[in-house]
Amino acid sequence: MTTPAEYQQRRERLMAKIGGGTAIFRSAPMAVMHNDVEYSYRQDSDFFYLTGFNEPNAVAVLAPHQEEHKFVLFVQPKDPEKETWTGYRVGVDDAKTVYGAHEAYSIDELDEKLPQYLQKADRIYYRLGRDKKFNETVLNHWQKLMRVYPKHGTGPIAIQDAGTLLHPLRLVKSESELELMRKAAQISVEAHERAREFARPGQYEYQVQAELEYLFQQHGGTPAYPSIVASGKNACILHYIENDRRMEDGDLLLIDAGCSYGYYNADITRTFPINGKFSREQKTIYELVLTAQIAAIAQVKPGNPYKQFHETAVRVLVEGLMDLGLLQGDIEEIIKEEKYKPFYMHRTGHWLGLDVHDVGVYQWGEEPQLLQPGQVLTVEPGIYIAPDIKPVEGQPEVDARWRGIGVRIEDDVLVTPDGCEVLTAGVPKSVEAMER
Ligand code: GLY
Ligand code: MN
Ligand code: MN
């Protein structure tokens, strides 16, 4: 549980970086499913991180230079008639008493009230977002202030992406965030276990998806992203989400699914033989990916450059593919010129948190981003041998027996002071455990 005190602490940490500026955050818009039906509401992660406030049509302002109103919320006003149709609203009063705003207004008053929080700011911090109309609102207010700048000699002379200040904070998770991430991981672990026990030749992929997502929902979670349940050659399509194929005897099944719990996400992939026994080729590729994943996880420790675990995974995969005769030549050249890409075309991981592909910089120009305790990332190498795979020039044709095999293994890993902890270690991944 994230307490009001923690939200306040996050705002204070951000305000310490804002200095004489004013930061503006916009809630996520409602997303349309079709016609006038909308998806369940999902707050913008920056907005949620700073406020815990979970409604659309809201604006949060952080203005540390203000005497009293350093944190201001603009929210949808209470309206019993509208609430009957579209759901409960916190309202202006509780925005202060429950969410800790020093001042709160109806969102209808935004244009009138916002300028007073910008006039004395030396800079506006705002991340251009999905809400184009609101982007324009911010730019219009800025333009008006710039018009009177010569008269006063004060006002925001620049707009800077708020993410440049906020996202480094989001990158390192607090204890309460980790508690939610562990819970999301644990639910996802159980769901993967359930799905693997359930899956049999003759079923449809969506039936396995239903088993997984049943467990998410049973625990108060939702899918963190569209679940990928990819049998046979579908496993070679990275974001396969149709999940409508009948699974055949002899197929591998790749399941990439994770639960979102309290807005925090897990992201797990396992690949196993649906009939309980790997073929020789499937097993060979599986073992190679597993070896690469374990070697990559061993590189997740404080002080190591972010890219190191990816480079380790690539090297292990390339060595293995060379041993199998699927790649040939000079290993350094294969790696440097990325000749392995027909088999392995994505990065080995990403930050994980409130967003599945979480915010945070991976590399500072030539400077590496160094891992530090509290960061969470995925480690997810794979090999994908599409039926129509086209090796790069000079590389051998791929023998038919390998074609159609796709394997990925993905875990969520927390950087700890002395190494790392695999949050999703509860789903087994040894060859023996994948068979039955
Ligand atoms: N499930 C999306 C990913 O692994 O990045
Ligand atoms: Mn994934
Ligand atoms: Mn992932």
Segments making up each domain of the chain, as ranges: 4-169, 172-434
Q: What is the pLDDT of residue 130?
A: 85
Phi, psi (5° rounding) for residue 271? -130, 130
Q: What are the Cα distances from residue 155, in Å, to 16, 22, 118, 260?
A: 19, 10, 7, 41
Secondary structure letter of residue 409 according to DSSP: -
Q: What is the pLDDT of residue 403?
A: 98
Other C-beta atoms within 10 Å of 343: how many?
24
Give me the active site residues, please.
36, 239, 256, 267, 346, 350, 357, 380, 384, 408, 410
Ligand nearest to the CA of 224: 1
Nearest CA to ligand 1 atom 3: 267
In sequence order, what are the residues at sequence separation of 6 or more whose Cβ sits closer than 8 angstroms to the Cβ of residue 213? 191, 223, 227, 257
Q: What is the pLDDT of residue 136?
A: 98
Q: Is the CB of 380 under 6 A from ligand 1?
A: yes
Cα distance between residue 21 and residue 170, in whole Å: 20
Tens-binned pLDDT, residue by residue, of the chain (436 aa): 899 999 999 999 999 999 999 999 999 999 999 999 999 999 999 999 999 999 999 999 999 999 999 999 999 999 999 999 989 999 999 999 999 999 999 999 999 999 999 999 999 999 998 889 999 999 999 999 999 999 999 999 999 999 999 999 999 999 999 999 999 999 999 999 999 999 999 999 999 999 999 999 999 999 999 999 999 999 999 999 999 999 999 999 999 999 999 999 999 999 999 999 999 999 999 999 999 999 999 999 999 999 999 999 999 999 999 999 999 999 999 999 999 999 999 999 999 999 999 999 999 999 999 999 999 999 999 999 999 999 999 999 999 999 999 999 999 999 999 999 999 999 999 999 999 9
CA of 310 to the centre of ligand 1 (A): 15
**250: region left, alpha or beta (phi > 0 left; psi from -120 to 50 alpha):** left
Nearest CA to ligand 1 atom 2: 267
Cα distance between residue 93 and residue 82, in whole Å: 17
Fold match between 4-169 and 172-434? no
Is residue 33 within 8 Å of 67, Cβ to Cβ? Answer: no
Cα distance between residue 14 and residue 10, in whole Å: 6
Cα distance between residue 110 and residue 59, in whole Å: 8
Which residues are near ligand 2, the ion (C-beta closer than 5 Å)? 256, 267, 410
Q: Is the CB of 213 under 6 A from ligand 1?
A: no
Report the relative pairing of strands 259-261 and 222-223 from DSSP bridges: antiparallel
Dig out the tokens for 256 from the structure.
């990439």
Other C-beta atoms within 10 Å of 337: how many?
12
Cα distance between residue 427 and residue 436, in whole Å: 15
Phi, psi (5° rounding) for residue 52? 70, 5
**216: region left, alpha or beta (phi > 0 left; psi from -120 to 50 alpha):** alpha
Is residue 188 within 8 Å of 423, Cβ to Cβ? Answer: no
CA of 416 to the centre of ligand 1 (A): 22
* CATH number of the domain located at residue range(s) 172-434 in this protein: 3.90.230.10
Q: What is the pLDDT of residue 282?
A: 98
Sign of the torsion angle spanned by Cα atoms 112, 116, 122, 124: negative
Nearest CA to ligand 1 atom 4: 267
Q: Is the CB of 355 under 6 A from ligand 1?
A: no
Whether this model's pTM surpasses 0.75 = yes
Report the relative pairing of strands 22-26 and 59-62 from DSSP bridges: antiparallel
Q: What is the pLDDT of residue 1?
A: 83
Q: Is the CB of 256 under 6 A from ligand 1?
A: yes
Q: Could you confirm whether domain 4-169 is CATH 3.40.190.10?
A: no
Is residue 237 within 8 Å of 211, Cβ to Cβ? Answer: no
Q: What are the Cα distances from residue 372, in Å, to 79, 149, 298, 309, 343?
A: 47, 43, 14, 14, 31
CA of 422 to the centre of ligand 2 (A): 15
Cα distance between residue 407 and residue 101, in whole Å: 49
Nearest CA to ligand 1 atom 5: 357
Ligand nearest to the CA of 413: 3
Q: What is the pLDDT of residue 2?
A: 94
Sign of the torsion angle spanned by Cα atoms 322, 326, 332, 335: negative
Q: Is the CB of 241 under 6 A from ligand 1?
A: no
Phi, psi (5° rounding) for residue 178? -65, -35
Q: Which atom of ligand 1 is nearest to the CA of 257?
A: 1
